[in-house]
Amino acid sequence: MYIRILNFDSYICEYYSVMSFLHQLNRLSYKKILSIGLLLALVFTVPMTVLLVQQKTRFASRAAYVKPLPAIEAVLPAPGPVPDEPPEIGRVFPFLGKADDIVFLQGKNFGVNPAVKSLKFSGLPVPDANIEVWENELIQFRIPKGASSGVIELSTGSHPVSVSYPFTVYDKNTKLKLSKKGNLVVGINAGEVHHIKAWLGDDTHVIPVEGEVPPGSRERSVLDTGGEPLLSIVLYNKAGQILPFYVDPMEWGF
């Protein structure tokens, strides 16, 4: 019985509290009620807006890569010292090209035209005449004649060699083309493509992908990027040979 009386009393108290609040609210003018409503709306809306803006900023930062621009005056400075730390290639842009095309290496610890250095393209030394910019975080060079698809190797002094993701070299006779359709990479004249290797993501988060391409027509999807940036891709035929390909530079932002 005691418990029932205690609960009943608490209900009575709550009832009078609510009625008192409603009575006070009824005495307020329309303008005051409107002001209180706007204030409450701001209290709840502003934090949510800030949270959404922060989330959009984080999402956009993954896609904030800005391609480098070719140097207007490609003149190397006098040879400088070898960096204390070994070089690290982060990104090669673009990931394909033909002889004499410009390629950018981005990373760190390259030095500023260090006196002791080596740059090789698929095992072929890149001539000094083809190197146009050598800064601590950026190297600009032209693909040497006779180069084939492979990796780019960079070393300074006695430091270990830094190796890039694979680079594809094509020429005017190349028929296989890669195009983009949303997140899909589509091969045109891709009848020989049997399997692929690709690297997605950015300099800090790399996702390797490898797999066979289902047989189909000469135009077929070879990769679904899932919305991730494409760092490099290699196409192989059934015998395991690398197939050269080309792209529309405007479509790919090259």
What is the residue-wise DSSP string for 7-76?
HHHHHHHHHHHHHHHHHHHHHS-HHHHHHHHHHHHHHHHHHHHHHHHHHHHHHHHHT--------SS---
Co-location of 161 and 209 in the same domain:
no
Q: Do 201 and 155 share a domain, yes or no?
A: no
Final residue of a domain: which of 13, 28, 62? 62
pLDDT of residue 128: 93
Q: Is residue 204 part of a domain?
A: yes
Whether 70 maps to a domain, the answer reads: no
CATH number at residue 187: 2.60.40
The conformational region for residue 136 under phi > 0 = left, psi -120 to 50 = alpha, else beta, is alpha
Same domain, 38 and 111: no
Q: How far apart are CA 82 and CA 174, in angstroms?
A: 40
Assess whether 104 and 133 both reside in one domain: yes
Residue 73 falls inside a structural domain: no
Q: Is the domain of 160 the same as that of 230?
A: no
Q: Tell me the pTM.
A: 0.73
Domain's final residue, options 119, 137, 169: 169
Q: Which structural domain, as residue segments, surrounds residue 131?
A: 88-169
Q: Kindly state whether residues 123 and 158 are assigned to the same domain.
A: yes
Evaluate whether residue 226 is within a structural domain: yes
pLDDT tens, 9-62?
A: 444 445 445 455 445 545 555 555 555 555 555 544 444 443 333 443 333 445
Residue 68 lies in a domain: no
Whether residue 191 sits in one domain with residue 230: yes
Nearest in space to 225 (alpha carbons), one of 173, 192, 178, 155 = 178
Give how many domains the chain has, as a whole number.
3
- Predicted confidence (pLDDT) per residue in 188-247, tens digit: 999 999 999 999 998 788 999 999 998 877 899 999 999 999 999 999 999 999 999 999
Same domain, 186 and 233: yes
- Considering the domain architecture, whether residues 124 and 186 belong to the same structural domain is answered as no
Where does a domain end: 169, 191, 214? 169
Same domain, 196 and 238: yes
Residue 67 lies in a domain: no
Q: Is residue 111 part of a domain?
A: yes
The predicted-structure confidence for 97-127, as pLDDT tens digits, reads as follows 999 999 999 999 999 999 999 999 999 999 9
Summarize pLDDT for 154-196 with one digit per residue, the tens: 999 999 999 999 999 999 999 999 999 999 999 999 999 999 9
